[in-house]
Amino acid sequence: MKIYITGDNIISSLGFTTEENMDNIFNGVTGIHKLDSGYLSPEAFPAALVDSKRLTELFNNTNPGTYTRLEQMMILSIKQAVEKAGLDMENSRTLLIISTTKGNVELLENEKKDKFPADRVYLWGLAKVISDYFKLSQRPLIISNACISGLLAIEVGARLIRNKQYDHVIIAGGDILTPFVVSGFQSFKSLSSEPCKPYDAARDGLSLGEACATIVLSSQKQALRDQLTIEVSGGASSNDANHISGPSRTGDGLYLSIKNALASAKMTAGEIDFICAHGTATPYNDDMESKAVNLAGMQNVPLNSLKGYIGHTLGAAGTIESIMSIHGILHQKLIKTLGFSTLGVAEPINVTSETKSCKLNNCLKVASGFGGCNAAVIFSVV
Amino acid sequence: MKDQIIISGWCVITHHQIKVNDDLVFEQSSDFPEFSKAAFKELNQPYLKFYKMDNLSKLGFLCAEYLLKHRPIDPAYIPEEVGLILCNATSSIDTDMEHQRTIADAGNYFPSPSVFVYTLPNIVIGEISIKHKFQGENSFFIFEQFQPDFIANYVNSLLQGNKVKACITGWVDLSPGATDYKAVFYLAEKGDGKEALEFNNENLKKIYNR
């Protein structure tokens, strides 16, 4: 049974539609900018923010005050993706999956506490609001699995269709930047003082970003663009079983995900045209990935990280980067790794340094996160 | 033929008690920090990492330890053949609030990585995986209430599809301040159906509600 991708939307620092985002990506534009000290952090730092003014304008609802910033982004994104897919959301064979790490955690702030009902800080409270907005008959499924959440949600959605539990699955991945998240990454000393440089010899940390991205999966074949149809051809997850905050020293956990994703797609490493990797630009993550890619024998496969364009968007990262890679395939364009110039990782890998036209059929998308979790999903032209 | 998915063991921790397969194996009427410390000491394990964990990870870790003490994982399974699929309602709210307290006051700003890392619910999966070298499929779902039908279907499909050979699955939930807590873990694997409990919605629900 094949699982097709029938719709998508991206709301990020690079725009409010997938097309706007892709134009910026193909033109090498970054959404990461230096922010002054203020609400998000006592120190200035670079990050990729969604334009709040445009969000408010676009969220053309009669009562926008009853929705948090993340809820507004999610509703807008889901609406656009579902419209593109031409999908009936109220159908009982349609499931919504929400992927997020911290949801409405901003509601823990003293100033915001009383502005929304207390249950909204819980992820099921967030899901309920989204579900009520769209009048869904099925409660959304929520996945909160650190930085692999968005990619894992795609794999879980594909499995639920394959198991014939649903015909269509909408996956919305979203996280916003809050003092909660920024202070945490600062305490880990994992933020770069410059826009991040994935796999580069001079990389010194990640850049945070916020985004919401929605992808629609379906058992019914439907072209996404110009008669091109894309399927989810395989996927897997795994654990390093090594350290809760440090990536594996060997890359064996991520390698397991890659190996099992290839097996589930009945593919060999040689059939993959490019890897869209996690590439956070922390010294350890990128080294770990280079080891995993070598364990898989894929050191010569072109590999990119999209973090230099949109930052690390946490629970949205897997969803947004999958959509960007899929649109790379639809345009037959291999996207360069913005911020990268000189290779500086533990094992040799083939990092893309310019955006160019290429024959692309199969993409391997990977992600890794705190808790030692890894996921891999393969997208293919049908 | 071992083609049925069965519950080969279960452990429930709630209200100051630990029960394995319905047998009371530990009880202490103290609050959660004291209760968890005593329950851990009872296991007699030199594993100092336990003391660094947050309350949610301690709860999940103890539930897995007591379950596996009574029903160890078949040594024939390799690390990638053992999966962990967990869920709860409160995500990591207890530690989220603790981290928020460290940044609420600009004059007393002290965020700490050892707290922040626990502001993700799946860290408990990581802690159990590290202890036992489990490397198979893992995911953390959030439900307002335990959804045994979803877990039964999802975990069954992982086992039937041979994605894993054994899976620790269940609920691990803790309220802010750890005033209320409940963990219910099931070990699911292929087995003999004669006397074994089938891994299905009904049995998951029964055990959860006992």
Q: How do residues B128-148 score in pLDDT, each as one tens digit?
A: 999 999 999 999 999 999 999
User: Per-residue pLDDT tens for A195-204?
Assistant: 999 999 999 9
C-alpha angle A323-A328-A334 in degrees, rounded to nearest 5: 135
Model confidence at A63: pLDDT above 70: no
Q: What would the two tokens of residue A208 be?
A: 């945070």
Tell whether ipTM is more than 0.90.
yes
Residues 6+ away with beta carbon under 8 Å from B208? B12, B146, B148, B171, B184
Model confidence at A93: pLDDT above 60: yes
Of B117, B132, B139, the CB nearest to A152: B139
pLDDT score for A211: 98
For B97, name the nearest residue in chain A, comparing CA atoms only: A108
| β-pair type (A274-276, A362-369) | parallel
Residues of chain A contacting B120 with CB distance shorter than 8 Å: 101, 144-146, 369-371
- The values of phi and psi at residue A319, to 5°, are -70, -50
Of A144, A179, A238, the CB nearest to B135: A238
How far apart are alpha carbons A304 and A328 in whole angstroms?
11
Residues of chain A contacting B109 with CB distance shorter than 8 Å: 42, 183
Shortest distance, CA A339 to any CA of chain B (angstroms): 27
Q: How many CB atoms lie within 10 A of CB B155?
A: 24
End-to-end CA distance of chain A: 12
For B115, name the nearest residue in chain A, comparing CA atoms only: A184
Spatial contact of B65 and B43, defined as CB atoms under 8 Å apart: yes
> Total structural domains in chain B?
1
Model confidence at A113: pLDDT above 90: no
pLDDT score for A62: 59
Q: Distances from the Cα of A88 to the Cαs of A94, A163, A169, A216, A312, in angstroms?
A: 8, 20, 11, 12, 32
Which of B159, B18, B175 shows the shortest CA–CA distance to B10? B18
Q: What is the mean pLDDT of residues A313-318?
A: 98
CA A136 to chain centre: 24
How far apart are alpha carbons B167 and B187 in whole angstroms?
6
Among this protein's residues, is A147 annotated catalytic? Answer: yes
Q: What is the mean pLDDT of residues A20-28?
A: 98
**B209 burial via Cβ count (<10 Å: 0-12, 13-18, 19+):** exposed
Q: Distances from the Cα of A297 to the Cαs of A198, A237, A287, in angstroms?
A: 21, 19, 16
Of B84, B96, B133, the CB nearest to A108: B96
Q: What is the mean pLDDT of residues A11-16?
A: 98
A180 and chain B in contact, CB less than 8 A: yes
| Intervals of chain B under pLDDT 70 | 1-2, 193
Q: How many CB atoms lie within 10 A of CB A348?
A: 12
How far apart are alpha carbons B73 and B70 in whole angstroms?
10
CATH number at B76 reads 3.40.47.10
Domains in chain A and their CATH numbers?
Answer: 3-218 (3.40.47.10), 230-381 (3.40.47.10)
Shortest distance, CA B144 to any CA of chain A (angstroms): 6
Among this protein's residues, is A33 annotated catalytic? Answer: no
Q: Which of residues 233-292 of A touch B (CB under 8 A)?
A: 236-245, 252-253, 256, 260
Percent of chain A with pLDDT over 90: 94
Residues of chain A contacting B106 with CB distance shorter than 8 Å: 42
Asked if the Cβ–Cβ distance from A238 to B154 is below 8 Å, we say no
Residues 6+ away with beta carbon under 8 Å from B186? B7, B9, B10, B168, B169, B170, B199, B204, B207
- Number of alpha helices (DSSP H) and beta strands (DSSP E) in chain B: 7, 8
User: Residue B7 is which amino acid?
Assistant: I
Of B100, B111, B138, the CB nearest to A373: B138
Spatial contact of B56 and B175, defined as CB atoms under 8 Å apart: no
Of A124, A141, A146, the CB nearest to B122: A146
pLDDT score for A64: 65
Shortest distance, CA A307 to any CA of chain B (angstroms): 21
Q: Which of residues 97-136 of B touch A (CB under 8 A)?
A: 97, 99-100, 102-104, 106, 109, 111-113, 116-117, 119-123, 125-127, 129-130, 132-136
Candidates A196, A276, A312, A327; catalytic one: A312
pLDDT score for B33: 97
Test the B interface: residue of A95, A187, A250 with most B CBs within 10 Å: A187
Question: A69-85 and A123-133 are packed helices; what angle lies between their axes, rounded to 10 degrees?
Answer: 50
Model confidence at A172: pLDDT above 90: yes
Which of A150, A144, A176 shows the shortest CA–CA distance to A69? A176
pLDDT score for A91: 87
Residues of chain A contacting B116 with CB distance shorter than 8 Å: 183-185, 187-188
Domain that holds residue B89: 4-209
Among this protein's residues, is A363 annotated catalytic? Answer: no
pLDDT score for B194: 74
How far apart are alpha carbons B5 and B156 in whole angstroms?
7
User: Per-residue pLDDT tens for A215-240?
Assistant: 999 999 999 988 899 999 999 999 99
Of B79, B93, B106, the CB nearest to A241: B79
Q: What is the mean pLDDT of residues A108-125?
A: 95
User: Residue A82 is which amino acid?
Assistant: V
CA B97 to chain centre: 21
Q: Which of residues 19-48 of A touch B (CB under 8 A)?
A: 42
How far apart are alpha carbons A367 and A237 in whole angstroms?
9
Q: What is the mean pLDDT of residues A77-94?
A: 94
Residues of chain B contacting A144 with CB distance shorter than 8 Å: 91, 120-122, 140-142
Global model pTM greater than 0.90? yes
